[in-house]
């Protein structure tokens, strides 16, 4: 449980450069605040104030907030609507899920002439007979109640039977107050009994195992025993959670810090470590390939990769995954990237001496042997050209010449007729008179 402090308000004024005197909006929800204080002196210009989901039992110290337009006090322990007359500009009031049983206290909002919308859902008063009719008739300036617009006909009907509804509401209030007095008395007795049991308890170190079982049983009974929804039960649950949190903090302080995990032994031997408990896929083809290391939906900024000649280490959110590689790799040529299809982290690490080994083989083997070696090793097949044999293009040998007995050059084109005085055309030649002679 905490109070409203200047540091708390200033941290929530980042959009106003940390200045709180001219602050127009502040959000103090879920801070376990038990009392509204200081805001009417520090933030006179407030227009919007969020105080939902706290432990506030009373509306107080907001009367000097003349510019306040929206006040959110949902999920608190408020039982009476009060001290809002000074909020002259108040337009919207949210009191969802409180403990307001004094329905007649809504009449204190009569002077808030700008009030247009109010929420009372989840309060005991909403179960009263004639609740809505009473509120609509008591606040003629109101236009929306519990998210439902107030029509003109509804307002007329509410004002007609106001006296009878007021009497009925007062009767139900008295009955509710009697129940609340009984609930407060039961809560006080229960708290006193709990205090006596707490004084008789022993330290956890000296408790026998049966006492620990009893504590677990009490914990289960605390959360599974039905109880009335009251401000006291809500405070009790909050105190119980606070005690559990503080007990865990004390246990954490007593525990000795764990020794750092051994990654490399004193004699230099690298160990396989899998703190995140991933199921990696390590494939060895031409290069070691480590796939699917962390979860695919994890942000890349949470990962750190370190590749060494004999091992690869991946740190994910402080947890180390280390694997010993079956062959020595080149860290400078290794790559780490996310898969475009699965999102997994893929480490590609070229093996040391693999490229030199292939170059040496290329000089010793023929083309067919080289292709066979590439297929076995997984290296893509490439057409190799030896620049030492052909430095220039030999135009004379583009078309291969046949032997002298078989005729002229091989060519798909028709050969020109042989000039006179030379050898006769080849066998099967037909002289077409329609074709002009070639010059």
**Mean pLDDT, the chain, integer:** 78
- Would the pLDDT of 68 be above 80? yes
* pLDDT given for residue 202 in this prediction: 45
**How much is the pLDDT for 364?**
36
Name the pairing type of β-strands 319-324 and 273-274.
Answer: antiparallel
- What is the tens place of the pLDDT at every residue in 18-39? 888 899 999 999 898 999 999 9
Architecture label for domain 273-350: Sandwich (2.60)
At residue 375, the pLDDT reads 45
Mean pLDDT of 353-378: 41
Q: How high is the pLDDT of residue 208?
A: 56
What integer is the mean pLDDT of 81-93?
A: 95
- Going across the sheet that includes 48-50, the strands are 25-27, 48-50, 70-72, 92-94, 117-119, 144-145, 148-149
Question: Which of 195-204, 221-230, 326-335 is predicted with the least confidence, judged by mean pLDDT?
Answer: 195-204
Q: Give the per-residue pLDDT at 357.
A: 39
> Phi and psi for 281 in degrees, rounded to 5?
-120, 110
Question: Is pLDDT larger for residue 431 or for residue 323?
Answer: 323
- Residue 152 is predicted with a pLDDT of 94
Q: What is the pLDDT of residue 196?
A: 65
Domain boundaries, the chain: 6-172, 273-350, 352-381
The whole-number pLDDT of residue 372 equals: 44
Q: Please say if the pLDDT value at position 424 is more than 70.
A: no
> Is 260's pLDDT higher than 50?
yes
How much is the pLDDT for 223? 77
- What does the pLDDT average to over 249-264? 75
pLDDT at 320 over 70: yes
| Fold for the domain defined by 6-172 | 3.80.10
Q: Do 273-350 and 6-172 fall under one CATH topology? A: no
Instruction: Flag the least confident range among 81-95, 175-189, 217-231, 381-395.
Output: 381-395
Of all residues in the chain, the percent with pLDDT exceeding 70 is 72
**Tally of CB atoms within 10 A around 177:** 13
Q: Are strands 335-338 and 345-348 parallel, antiparallel or unpaired?
A: antiparallel
Record the tokens describing residue 342, joined without a space. Answer: 């699965």
What confidence score (pLDDT) does residue 414 get?
53
Q: How confident is the model at residue 219 (pLDDT cuts 50, 70, 90)?
A: confident
Q: Which residues contact 222 (CB under 8 A, 6 or more apart)?
A: 240
């Amino acid at each position: 449980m905490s109070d409203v402090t200047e540091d708390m308000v200033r941290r929530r004024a980042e959009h106003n450069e940390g200045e709180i005197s001219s602050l127009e909006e502040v959000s103090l929800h879920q801070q376990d605040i038990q009392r509204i204080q200081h805001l009417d002196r520090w933030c006179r210009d407030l227009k919007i104030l969020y105080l939902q989901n706290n432990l506030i039992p009373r509306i107080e110290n907001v009367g000097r907030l003349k510019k306040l337009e929206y006040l959110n006090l949902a999920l608190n322990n408020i039982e009476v609507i009060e001290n809002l007359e000074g909020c002259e500009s108040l337009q919207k009031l949210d009191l969802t899920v409180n403990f307001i049983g004094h329905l007649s206290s809504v009449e204190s909002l009569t002077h808030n002439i700008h009030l247009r919308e109010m929420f009372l859902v989840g309060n005991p008063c909403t179960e009263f007979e004639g609740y809505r009719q009473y509120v609509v008739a008591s606040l003629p300036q109101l236009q929306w109640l519990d998210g439902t617009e107030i029509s003109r006909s509804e307002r007329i009907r509410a004002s007609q039977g106001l006296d009878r509804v007021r009497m009925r509401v007062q009767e139900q209030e008295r009955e509710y107050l009697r129940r609340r007095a009984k609930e407060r008395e039961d809560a006080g007795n229960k708290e006193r009994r709990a205090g006596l049991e707490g004084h008789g308890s022993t330290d956890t170190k000296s408790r026998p195992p049966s006492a620990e079982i009893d504590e677990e049983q009490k914990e289960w009974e605390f959360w599974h025993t039905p109880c009335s929804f009251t401000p006291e039960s809500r405070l009790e649950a909050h105190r119980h959670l606070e005690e559990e949190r503080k007990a865990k903090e004390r246990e954490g302080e007593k525990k000795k810090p764990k020794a750092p995990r051994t990654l490399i032994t004193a004699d230099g031997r690298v160990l396989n470590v899998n703190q995140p408990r991933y199921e990696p896929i390590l494939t060895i083809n031409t290069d070691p390939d480590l796939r699917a290391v962390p979860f695919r939906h994890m942000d890349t900024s949470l990962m750190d990769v370190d590749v060494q000649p004999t091992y690869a280490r991946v740190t994910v959110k402080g947890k180390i995954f280390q694997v010993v590689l079956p062959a020595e790799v080149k860290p400078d040529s290794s790559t780490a990237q996310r898969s475009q299809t699965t999102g997994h982290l893929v480490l590609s690490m070229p093996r040391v001496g693999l490229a030199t080994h292939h170059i040496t083989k290329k000089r010793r083997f023929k083309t067919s042997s080289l292709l066979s070696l590439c297929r076995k090793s997984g290296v893509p097949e490439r057409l190799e050209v030896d620049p030492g044999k052909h430095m220039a293009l030999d135009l004379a040998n583009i078309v291969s010449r046949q032997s002298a007995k078989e005729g002229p050059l091989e060519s798909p084109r028709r050969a020109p007729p042989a000039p006179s005085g030379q050898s006769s055309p080849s066998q099967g030649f037909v002289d077409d008179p329609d074709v002009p002679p070639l010059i």
